[in-house]
Structures are given as structure tokens and as C-alpha cells.
């Protein structure tokens, strides 16, 4: 019994010592996750960037700053912007960026997320002011790419990589929307008039060609007349159609012209 009691006591003491040892070691052991990087300072001076895993650090001598290197999303709220043609609009955007150098992101800027968001706001206002409203509406991708390029170059000393900038909404006033709608309607009406006039010109050209073709063939007009009569015969109409040969009409016109010419000649002789 005495031996068993001593063994149990030893095991309990060993477990207590193990727990105490783990508690002490936990103050020296730090874990860096895969999506993080650790910026280690020794007595206040930068030492190195710690990669994912466990490592030992001294609580008083070492200080550790963890940095998340995953892609971050920052919403740029509505910004009142005056375009190049002096039209007020509201624009909001979203910025995607990540930390490419954890040490620079900690050392060079106090809060890189806030700083990047503020820089994106000011850059967006300044950049959109260089475009007219029509350019802004038509070339949104180009405007967003320009903002992304400027912000990426400005944040490069901070160890930040701006991956993309997207313009979400371009908000116009109701009166401006109404004006744009009127301009679009006028443009559509102008195109409709142009297309109609072009169609009339083409139709006139085709009719002239058809008339020349019919006039050059003696029997073509009779065939066309017979085709028209066939179409009229199938229609439920009580109208009576008299067909006069065009040759007869032409001959009568020629006779009338000759008679008029002869009469004028006789009158001249009498005089």
C-alpha cells in the first residue's frame, strides 16, 4: 500500500510539473499560420520575418507582430466628383490588395489598411476629374485600371500590392438622367431619319434601273401587265380593270404630236 500510494503521488506531481512546464513553454512558443507572416523585433529593432510554424521567442526581449497576407477588400464610399466637363457625379469603388512584404507593411506605415483606403479615395477623385462624363460611362475599365496603377505605385514603399480596382456605381442626379435620356432619344430619332432617307434613295435607284430595264425590252411591259392582272384576279374586288397597251398609248401620243406640229406649220404658212 505504501508503495502504491507513493507511485500515485509521484504521478500526480509529475503531471502537475508537466502542466506547469507547458504553461511556461507557452509563453516562449508562438505559432504563425500559413496565411500569416510574423515580424520579429529584438529589443525594439527589426530582426527578421518569421515564416509559418512554431518558433521560440523570449517574452521580454522579443516582440512579434503578425501580418495577414491574404487578399483584402476595401470599399471606397461614395465620393462627390466633378468631371472634366463640370458635371457632378457620385462614384464608389472596391479595392483588392495584399501584403507582399510584411516587414515594410509594419515598419513603413502605421495602419496599411486605412492608409490604402484613404489613398484610393483621393486618387479616385483626382483621376475621375480628368475624364468627361461620356468617357467615364464608356471607359470604366480604363479609369479603374488607371486608379489601380497609381495606387499600386504609391503603396509600393509600404510593401502593398494593389491587385485590382473596380468602379461599382456611378450615381447621377435625376435631372441629369432625364437629360441623357432625351439626348439618347434624339440620337435614335436622327438615326431613324437617316436610315429612312437612305432606304428611299436606294428604292429610287432600284426603280430607275427597273424602268430602264422594262423600257429596253419591248415585251417586258406586257409581261409585267399580265403579272399584275394575275394578282388582281385573285383578290376579292368588284373593280373593273381596263388594260391599254402601252404601244397604243405611245402611238396615240406620237400621232397627237404630229398633228399638233402639222397644224402649227399650216398656220405659219397662212400667215
Is residue 258 a part of any domain in this protein?
no
Rg of the chain in Å (alpha carbons): 46
> Is the Cβ–Cβ distance between 132 and 112 less than 8 Å?
no
Quick one: 104 and 196 in the same domain? no
Quick one: 85 and 138 in the same domain? yes
- Residue 77 in grid coordinates: 464610399
- What's 119's domain CATH number? 3.30.479.30
Q: Is the pTM of this model over 0.75?
A: no
Q: Is 146 strand, coil or helix?
A: helix
Sign of the torsion angle spanned by Cα atoms 8, 14, 20, 23? negative
Average pLDDT along the chain: 80
> Last residue of some domain: 35, 68, 101?
68
Lowest mean pLDDT: which of 20-34, 72-86, 94-108, 187-201? 20-34
Q: How confident is the model at residue 133 (pLDDT cuts 50, 70, 90)?
A: confident
Strand order in the sheet with 62-68: 45-50, 36-42, 62-68
pLDDT given at position 23? 67
Range of the domain at 50: 26-68
Quick one: 41 and 52 in the same domain? yes
On the question of pLDDT at 201 being above 90, the answer is no
Q: Which among 99, 121, 123 is positioned nearest to 109, based on CA atoms?
A: 99
Amino acid at each position: 500500500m505504501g508503495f502504491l500510494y507513493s507511485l500515485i503521488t509521484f504521478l500526480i506531481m509529475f503531471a502537475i510539473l508537466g502542466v506547469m512546464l507547458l504553461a511556461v513553454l507557452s509563453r516562449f512558443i508562438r505559432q504563425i499560420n500559413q496565411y500569416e507572416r510574423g515580424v520579429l523585433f529584438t529589443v525594439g529593432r527589426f530582426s527578421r520575418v518569421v515564416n509559418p510554424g512554431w518558433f521560440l521567442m523570449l517574452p521580454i526581449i522579443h516582440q512579434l507582430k503578425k501580418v495577414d497576407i491574404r487578399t483584402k477588400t476595401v470599399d471606397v464610399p461614395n465620393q462627390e466628383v466633378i468631371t472634366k466637363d463640370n458635371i457632378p457625379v457620385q462614384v464608389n469603388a472596391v479595392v483588392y490588395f495584399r501584403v507582399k512584404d510584411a516587414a515594410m507593411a509594419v515598419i513603413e506605415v502605421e495602419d496599411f489598411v486605412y492608409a490604402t483606403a484613404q489613398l484610393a479615395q483621393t486618387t479616385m477623385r483626382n483621376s475621375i476629374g480628368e475624364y468627361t462624363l461620356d468617357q467615364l460611362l464608356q471607359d470604366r475599365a480604363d479609369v479603374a485600371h488607371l486608379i489601380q496603377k497609381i495606387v499600386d505605385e504609391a503603396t509600393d514603399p509600404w510593401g502593398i500590392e494593389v491587385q485590382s480596382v473596380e468602379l461599382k456605381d456611378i450615381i447621377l442626379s435625376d435631372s441629369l438622367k432625364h437629360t441623357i435620356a432625351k439626348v439618347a432619344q434624339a440620337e435614335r430619332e436622327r438615326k431613324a431619319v437617316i436610315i429612312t432617307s437612305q432606304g428611299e434613295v436606294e428604292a429610287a435607284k432600284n426603280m430607275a434601273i427597273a424602268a430602264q430595264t422594262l423600257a429596253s425590252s419591248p415585251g417586258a411591259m406586257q409581261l409585267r401587265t399580265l403579272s399584275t392582272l394575275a394578282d388582281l384576279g385573285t383578290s376579292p374586288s368588284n373593280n373593273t380593270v381596263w388594260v391599254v397597251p402601252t404601244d397604243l398609248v405611245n402611238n396615240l401620243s406620237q400621232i397627237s404630236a404630229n398633228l399638233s406640229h402639222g397644224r402649227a406649220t399650216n398656220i405659219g404658212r397662212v400667215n
